Amino acid sequence: MLERAKDFLGSHKSYRQGVREQQRSLVYDDRQEHPLAARGAALAHSTLWRWLSWLGGLTRTMQRASQLICQQDPHSTLHQQVIPIDPRKYRSEQRRVSLEQAARMLLVEATFHEHFGKKIFPRFATGCGWR
């Protein structure tokens, strides 16, 4: 999920292109016992949109992780980094803000991993109540 989100935000890809790899649809693993897997269902472009919306809404997790990073490295410039979003990826100001927050969450996650050698997901985010 994080790879797909990073790839989408860091490229000119559309949502539909974001759920494809080398011109092929991403499908559910048919080794799973799930109805979608059994019929070889492909990942919908709206799934990527929902993932990004969810990531953009993890403000408490992002704030707590940022605080720990700043405690560990008081000279961190994490809060100063500008994260531009391609204007073709949104139609409303609300969506632009949500995508920027998702991109910031991805940046915080990478910085957290770099500083502490641990990932935010799932344990740290669970401790923050997934908010």
**Per-domain residue ranges for the chain?**
2-127
Q: Which pLDDT value is given to residue 42?
A: 72
Q: What share of the chain is helix, strand, coil (3-state, %, to 5)?
A: 60, 5, 35
pLDDT of 57: 95
| pLDDT on residue 3 | 92
55: its two tokens: 């990531």
User: What pLDDT is attached to residue 13?
Assistant: 92
- Counting as low any pLDDT under 50, the low residues of the chain are none
pLDDT on residue 31? 62
pLDDT of residue 21: 84
Model-level pTM?
Answer: 0.85
Question: Contacts from 112-115 at CB under 8 Å and sequence distance 24+?
Answer: 112/65, 112/68, 112/69, 115/68, 115/69, 115/72, 115/73
Q: Tell me, what's the pLDDT at 30?
A: 63
Name, in order, each residue with C-beta under 8 angstroms of 30's C-beta and a sequence gap of 6 or more: 37, 38, 40
Question: What is the per-residue pLDDT for 40?
Answer: 64
